[in-house]
A = this chain, B = another copy of it.
Amino acid sequence: MNVYFSCSLTGGRNEEGVYRAIVDHLLTAGHDVPTAHLARPEVMSLERVVDPQEVYGRDVAWIQACDAVVAEVSTPSHGVGYEIAYALSLGKPVLCCYRDGSTVSKMITGNNSPGLTVRSYRGPAEALLIVDQFLEAMNHGTPESTR
């Protein structure tokens, strides 16, 4: 599957370890992850040199082409929030996962849009389990709506 991974860049990188665990897990399972570079620590200097309109056009095209979006939402981010809404407007399945105890916007935790799954995790291992359950539910055509 083609999975668009979305995470905070400028908003903060506290959960970078989980970002990498999710992306590595998806790649190892054979999925395409166009945004895999976002989980790497050097992304901040890499992305800084890219033109904003180029980033926007690139990310929007990747979302249009993906089968699903996996968003890590422990750290507030305009870009991630934008991408979640944009993907849902296109009818893409979206998983929002966050570290248990994070304060997450009610526009996400209270969101009952079709195709959206919102889950908390206690550590990287549980995050990967949640990602697997989300993709498996997609394959079986039974989109979750747990929150």
Contact = CB atoms under 8 A, between A and B. Distances in A.
A8 B107 CA distance: 12
The residue among A50, A77, A108, A110 with the most chain B CB atoms within 10 A of its own CB is: A110
Query: What copy number does this chain have within its complex?
Result: 2
Nearest to A118: B52
A10 B76 contact: yes
Interface string A18-52: 00000000000000000000000000000100111
A85 B81 contact: yes
A146 interface: no
A54 B110 contact: yes
A52 B111 CA distance: 8
A64 interface: no
Contact of A8 (B51, B76, B104): B76
A105 B38 CA distance: 14
A104 B79 CA distance: 9
Interface string A74-85: 011111111111
